[in-house]
Amino acid sequence: MSKTDNMPGRGSEQNNDTQTNGRSFWCKLQKLFSFGPDTDLRQSIEEVIEQHESAPDDTLVRPEARSMMLNLLKFSDVRVDDIMVPRADVIAIEDQATVNELLGIFSEANHSRIPIFKDTLDDPCGMVHIKDLMRWLTIGEKAAPAKKSTPKSSDRKTVAGKKTRRAPNRNTKIVDTNIIREVLFVPPSMPATDLLLKMQSVHIHLAIVVDEYGGTDGLVSIEDVVEEIVGEISDEHDDDADFLVKTTDGNYIADARAPIETVENVLKIDLLPDEQDEDADTLGGFVFSMLGRVPVRGELIRHNSGIEFEIVQADARRVKRIKIHANPSLPGST
């Protein structure tokens, strides 16, 4: 055997470095659990994880894992009102609406669950899951949530000597379909951890957030809760392009709900200084924080970078659509 055959290769050295970095990380975590009762264990763990944020991607502890571990440590501080969809953004439908109207709502919203209310959003009575709606359209008016049913002979008609299903009447009111499921009702101050456990125990994955007077503040789905730990979950229907649409003049029409990070990535600019990163999560919240109030339609707000935000659609409570002038040329900006 040659002398070089006994020498470890470059790949072996990298593997050893990777294993050493990984062992170092876990060894430090292990030592933390031997600290006395006066030690802030959570803070110590966070410090160890943050120390390894600059570690190579090929270590035993990948950046994604470190991020989830930090999110998990902070999860106990998260309340329902931190993650809920605000009332103004809740998409719901009245129980007196027809199945056909409900289908339209599902198509536009791209949601799997739609809250149902009686007279106003302050009187929610449940929700409809898209699976139950599809079952109703397939089986018929006797369908019920999470239950299999066999259509009766009266539900069938004869065509060319064969019995076939009679198509359900899409003008049937939602309240008459027996496909409305229960929802949870929770206060804004409820810890997100408690809500997650509640959702798991009762198998209800949508919660209506109610204030002290019984009014609806917003809603939370189990996806909203889980995203606090694993990060944003994008399904087949989620598309960042829906938030920002480039116009022919090189500017953008943006949904006010567009994540501020998405806007920054598209514009290739930091709109918020590092110390203000937690001040706003969405473009609408960012504009609100700049002014300290809800802007009115037609108002122009100039950022110190020179970019202008024109309020295209807004009401007394919130901004809905914003035009971003990436190359500002309009006079009279504020």
Confidence label for 334 from pLDDT (cuts 50, 70 and 90):
very low
For residue 207, what pLDDT is reported?
97
- Domains of the chain, first to last: 10-77 (no CATH), 82-230 (3.10.580.10), 240-325 (3.30.465.10)
Choice among 1-5, 162-166, 260-264 with the minimum mean pLDDT: 1-5
Q: Which tokens in the block code for residue 175?
A: 């309240």
* H or E element in which residue 67 lies: helix 63-74
pLDDT, tens digit (0-9, with 9 covering 90-100), for 196-229: 999 999 999 999 999 999 999 999 999 989 888 8
pLDDT, tens digit (0-9, with 9 covering 90-100), for 90-115: 999 999 999 999 999 998 888 899 99
Residue 52 contacts residue 11 (beta carbons within 8 Å): no
For residue 97, what pLDDT is reported?
96
Eight-state DSSP code of residue 282: B
29 CB burial (10 A radius; 0-12, 13-18, 19+): middle
Tell me how crowded residue 297 is: count the other CB atoms within 10 A of its CB: 13
Confidence label for 293 from pLDDT (cuts 50, 70 and 90):
confident
Nearest Cα to 198, choosing from 167, 176, 230, 220? 220
On the question of pLDDT at 168 being above 90, the answer is no
Which residues have CB under 8 Å from 175's CB, separation 6+? 95, 96
* H or E element in which residue 135 lies: helix 130-139
Q: Cite the beta strand spans of the chain per DSSP E.
A: 85-86, 93-94, 113-117, 124-129, 156-159, 162-165, 184-186, 206-210, 216-221, 244-246, 252-255, 300-302, 308-314, 319-325
Model pTM greater than 0.85? Answer: no
Q: CA-CA distance, 20 to 199, in Å (whole number)?
A: 41
On the question of pLDDT at 307 being above 70, the answer is yes
Could you write out the DSSP letters of every residue in 136-153?
Answer: HHHH-TT-BTTB-----G
Tell me how crowded residue 202 is: count the other CB atoms within 10 A of its CB: 10
pLDDT, tens digit (0-9, with 9 covering 90-100), for 127-160: 999 999 999 998 865 555 654 434 444 444 544 5
Which residues have CB under 8 Å from 214's CB, separation 6+? 122
Adjacent-strand bridge partners of 210: 216
Strand-pair category, 124-129 with 113-117: antiparallel
Q: Could you report how far apart the first and last alpha carbons of the chain are, in Å?
A: 79
Could you write out the DSSP letters of every residue in 109-128?
Answer: H--SEEEEESSSTTSEEEEE
On the question of pLDDT at 30 being above 60, the answer is no
Which residues have CB under 8 Å from 160's CB, separation 6+? none
309 CB burial (10 A radius; 0-12, 13-18, 19+): buried
Helix, strand, coil percentages for the chain (3-state, nearest 5)? 40, 20, 40
pLDDT, tens digit (0-9, with 9 covering 90-100), for 223-258: 989 888 877 666 655 555 568 888 878 889 888 888
Which residues have CB under 8 Å from 14's CB, separation 6+? 58
149 CB burial (10 A radius; 0-12, 13-18, 19+): middle
On the question of pLDDT at 309 being above 60, the answer is yes
Choice among 60-74, 168-182, 315-329 with the minimum mean pLDDT: 60-74
Strand-pair category, 206-210 with 216-221: antiparallel
Which residues have CB under 8 Å from 150's CB, separation 6+? none
